[in-house]
Chains A and B, each alone.
Chain A
Amino acid sequence: MPSKEQVLRLLAEGQGYEEAARRLGIPPGRAYLIATGVPADGSETVVGPRRRDRPGLLPTHPQHLVNPRTVSPTGREDVRAWVRERARGERAAAGKDRRS
């Protein structure tokens, strides 16, 4: 198992957790845990100044290290197309009504 110093050294060299973990042969989340003592998935109990002072800590969203395959879309083109088509259909129907 790599040591904390090994992970932090790679980070100091400018590597991200993903690359550091690849070089050390461990998953990125584990590299984060080794370096910081804080689980990347947010299940930590270390909070406040004790946490902020830890070297290697990411300022936000470390869960991407353990949850890389996240599904969270914020929009669908097929829905936007459906909306346009519905509005177009209503426009057309309204025009037909006016003509008839």
Chain B
Amino acid sequence: MRLRSWPLLRQLTGPDRSGRGTAVRSARTDGLSARTADADRVVKSVCPYCAVGCAQNVYVKDERVVHVEGDPDSPISRGRLCPKGAATLQLTTGPSRLHKVLYRPPHAADWQELDLATAMEMIADRVIDTRRATWEWENDGRRTARTMGIASLGGATLDNEENYLIKKLLTALGVVQIENQARVCHSSTVVGLGTSFGRGGATTFLQDLQHSDCIVIQGSNFAEAHPVGFQWVMEAKARGAVVIHVDPRFTRTSALADLHVPIRAGSDVAFLGGIVNHVLENELYFREFVVNYTNAATLISEDYRDTEDLGGLFSGFDPAKRHYSDDTWQYAGTSVVAAAGDRDGDPSQRVSGRSETRGAMAQSMEGTPQRDETLTDPRCVLQILRRHYARYTPELVERTCGVPPDLFAEVCRHLTENSGPERTAEFVYAVGWTQHSDGSQFIRTACILQLLLGNMGRPGGGIQALRGHASIQGSSDIPTLFNLLPGYIPMPHANQHRTLDGFLGTDAPHKGYWADMPAYLISLLKAWWGAEADAGNDYRFDWLPRLTGSHSTYDTVLAQLDGTCKGYFLLGENPAVGSANAKMQRLGMANLEWLVVRDFNLIESATWWKDGPEIETGELRTEDIGTEVFFLPAAAHTEKSGSFTNTNRMLQWHHAAVEPAGEARSELWFMYHLGRIIRERLAGSTDPMDAPLLGLTWDYPLEGAHDEPVAEAVLAEINGWDEHGEPLPGYAALRADGSTSCGCWIYCGVYKDGVNQAARRKPAEEQNWIAAEWAWAWPDNRRLMYNRASARPDGRPWSERKKLVWWDPAQGRWTGYDVPDFEATKAPGYRPAEGATGADALSGIDPFIMQADGKGWLFAPAGVIDGPLPTHYEPQDSPVRNPLHPHQQRSPARLLYPHEHNRANPSGDEPGAELYPYVVTTYRLTEHFTAGGMSRTVPYLAELQPEMFCEVSPELAAERGLRHGDWATVITARNAIEARVLVTRRIAPLHLDGKVVEQIGLPFHWGPNGMSPGDAANELSSITLDPNSHIQEVKAFSADIRPGRRPRGPALPALVRDRQRRAGVTDDTGMEA
């Protein structure tokens, strides 16, 4: 009897021999039911990992999350989830999560338990005390009204509403050192795209990739890092598109591409510059597009000198200050200055770190540019461009990048053959482009190319920036960033302009949509300070603390080391392994008075004092460390409501499915109640430093067992309302007279008609590919930005095949498939009158409406402070001498942070460079997420990628005696790590300039904690920054590799120091301009 019940026998002897019906059933399976079928409800949500923004269905039974699946209605993900998204159930409900508050007293050896209420009171005490002890009314004689004693880091994994409360509360407390992952991931995107086009976000959306005829993926392993978004590349390929992958490694993206182009990490400007040269020399640019929609015809100042004239420097470089004056880069007859980022008019403040605001939202311009539409004047942008890139020949590309001329020619051919009126090509990139000491210029080069080829604002065209956190776009838009206010309005600098009028009036933009900045800023001040803010008191503009330079996360580390910064909030970010030069991050934290870590579990940034690498080496002793550490468990996305902004500017709402368990709470809860407690403590204070805090609008409705602030109320404040409490329909409704309130002007419209537009979920199959009724995107729900350029100057589509938005003469308005990114009734033939201002100053053929001249910028007269045109420079640490500018090895304006723990490797042909002979690049894996806090603790994911490894070629393995599966030690002047050796032809040696260059690939997800421990790649990297964005260079640096495990204990720093000594490394190595 038992034998007959054996399934295979039952199948073969029964009526269902193919095993597709009754044969697969048994008494046991008959008693089973799917978790989805038994659920009490299905709650709509969004994946919390990368920024593709895959929609999720969260199944709840008995007030517990029992299952998470992809939502098939989503136009972006179409029901799919990647391995991380599929592991969301384990992330949110698994055993790794902590639900208790932990406390480490100063100098203690271990954690203690603490109840949440006590912890909140203690944290409020620390904030109040530190703030009072470090309060600074003035700095160098200029009013600052701030504290430099407190800093905050994190926000990209959080909701927009949470970022909003973080920024609002901390700013009112006078804290300026507010930063998040956007700084270290995509800040250079904002500069590169913003300066070129006027807005710093990706210009298109993932679904539109399907319309591309040629997709160049460079600086991204799209298929593995953003797998669900990659389906749209495959759709394009199925329609006949050519897919090209330019990357040091052959990955799954390469395997699915038509062409893989191995390239030396860090040489992309030379590669792209070579294509620019090919396009110009062969007259392959889209002439009508270029003449009408870019600044190609604009004449530049006679005083401008190019890097080709000055041996690698542009005119205006000051070697003492190590930065440029952009005076000679101006349009002839005009001055172009930052519209949104340099408004305080203090030239001494025109220093690095400001370009994110400039780049984000374009420039202001005085005067009318001179143009030569024949494009023959030697001073016109096109001719300058031609001269600048004339030496970027295929031979130079080979010498610099290691790409053979025939392979390079193939890329050029595909790209140019698939650009023009009938065809479009798209560039896709990620942090492989952004994380360089000139990362902003990597992106600028692609912008130049796409403008020349006429691929902007058109279906299948544009530049897709793949961001890596669920709401990293949102944490830029509603910025937990030191230099920005919501909507890319700059934080004011301390200077002579202490009034609102002074701030708004200096260099006031008269042209383009930034002319309405007073309405944006005053509405923000009304949202924050309500009735306290009125015209008579400058809308409390003086309640904003002031900047005095850069206060980025890396500057904060130095401030911790020198004792200035004493208290630190880590809100879902793990700098102890995730930021450059991890050792300096930990040493900085070891010098704090207090540290608050909010996360799902004990990440490395919470435990470094107990078991960090410096404890093992003896560089730190637990009992000597006075930092008081609070660990507060965080709520998961399934336990709170809020919106994420995906990589394409789309706000998608996720609903709370259940209440968080134990003492886990949302950031919304934490910030609201921290603010409430502090305000209660300080109630009645007459100290002027407390006025901004006590005047804050902080009356959000609460709900649930934990008194959670209602996230939708915060969204409503972000959207804004008029004086009658009617939600505003869009930013055009904002007023500068104090009658409107709006927490973030670019998000105005997300709560139009009192409807949470971000929560809309009309199924994809009921809409066209734009899917305008799925969620909401800024600006004004436009999905493909600059789409006026999809039509000819006369308003007709360039071609039937590529039509998107066009002028309807009968209706007298722009129409089409997407919301026009243009004034709806402005005719193509409109030309501004003399002296026109604001939007009226833009003509009917100015698609880039945030730019003062309405044009796409091939040449950047302002906004990118390390040069108006991208130029190839070597990374800070490079085994290669700069083939283009042998006497200008590195970007002269890069930011350096000299420190004994941040020394540079010798480069090129400098003595000692041979001791760091290989190029290292870092990257992401499908199964892990950023610094590992959301993946190394998830059993499914930890099991799929269990160990830190390094990829090396068989040739390098032979050269260094490395064996597949054994250990290797990788060494730089900062530190050394160990990793398992993966010998693979995926990372091939490159032949360039008469030498062979080997590259080493390192995933960056590891750290000592979790189920899959390993050394962090960021132990090796240095703090060397792009001066525009303050992003760190971790995608290309040099190192050595040797077989075997790294030394333990004090022998590890001894190894690093010994290598420094042998290489002759000093504090001055690599520090020249």
Contact = CB atoms under 8 A, between A and B. Distances in A.
Interface of A: 1, 27, 29, 41-43, 59-61, 63, 66-67, 69-76, 78-80, 82-91, 93-94, 97
B72 interface: yes
Nearest to B78: A42
A75 B111 CA distance: 43
A87 B699 CA distance: 12
Given A42-B70, A70-B43, 17 more contacts: A42-B71, A42-B79, A63-B57, A66-B36, A72-B761, A75-B754, A75-B759, A80-B716, A82-B716, A83-B721, A85-B725, A87-B722, A87-B723, A87-B724, A87-B725, A90-B530, A93-B530
B39 interface: yes
Contact of A97 (B22, B534, B712, B757): B534
27 contacts: A1-B22, A41-B69, A42-B79, A60-B766, A66-B36, A67-B57, A69-B41, A71-B43, A71-B44, A71-B657, A72-B43, A72-B759, A75-B712, A75-B754, A75-B759, A76-B756, A78-B701, A78-B710, A79-B716, A83-B716, A83-B727, A85-B725, A86-B699, A90-B530, A90-B531, A90-B741, A93-B530
Interface in B713-765: 713, 716-717, 721-725, 727, 741, 754-757, 759-761, 763, 765
B725 A86 contact: yes
Contact of B712 (A43, A79, A87): A79
B408 to A, nearest CB: 36
Given A67-B42, A75-B754, A94 B721 contact: no
A26 B535 CA distance: 67
Contacts of B129: none
B73 A63 contact: yes
A10 B272 CA distance: 61
Contact of A86 (B36, B530, B712): B530
Contacts, number: 120
B531 A80 contact: no
B39 A69 contact: yes
A88 B760 contact: no
B725 A88 contact: yes
Interface string B20-52: 011000000000000011011111100000000
B721 A87 contact: yes
Contact of A83 (B79, B655, B725): B725
Interface in B807-840: none
B307 interface: no
Given A27-B37, A75-B756, A91 B697 contact: no
Nearest to A63: B72
B723 A72 contact: no
Contacts of A91: 723
Contacts of A94: 531, 534
B72 A70 contact: no
Contacts of B530: 86, 89-90, 93
Given A41-B69, A60-B765, A91-B723, A73 B655 contact: yes
B359 to A, nearest CB: 34
A61 B69 contact: no
Q: Which 3 A-B pairs have the closest CB atoms?
A: A42-B72, A87-B725, A93-B531
B79 A59 contact: no
A72 B36 CA distance: 17
A61 B723 contact: no
Q: Which of B70, B721, B722, B725 has the most CB of A within 10 A?
A: B725
A66 B71 CA distance: 12
Nearest to A88: B725
A41 B713 contact: no
Contacts of B727: 80, 83
A73 B761 CA distance: 10
Q: Which of A66, A82, A97 has the most CB of B within 10 A?
A: A82
Nearest to B79: A42
Contacts of A72: 43-44, 655, 759, 761
Nearest to A62: B72
Interface string B514-530: 00000000000000001
Contacts of A82: 701, 710, 713, 716
A90 B755 CA distance: 23
B654 to A, nearest CB: 10
A74 B531 CA distance: 29
Interface in B745-798: 754-757, 759-761, 763, 765-766
Contacts of B699: 86
B26 to A, nearest CB: 15
A57 to B, nearest CB: 11
A24 B78 CA distance: 30
Contacts of B534: 94, 97
Q: Which of A29, A72, A73, A85 has the most CB of B within 10 A?
A: A72
Contacts of A75: 712, 754-756, 759
B73 A69 contact: no
Nearest to B757: A74
A78 to B, nearest CB: 7
Q: Which of B22, B655, B710, B716 has the most CB of A within 10 A?
A: B716
Nearest to B40: A69
Contacts of B760: 74
Interface in B152-175: none
A70 B717 CA distance: 27
A91 to B, nearest CB: 6
Nearest to B699: A86
B42 A71 contact: yes
Given A41-B72, A61-B763, A67 B531 contact: no
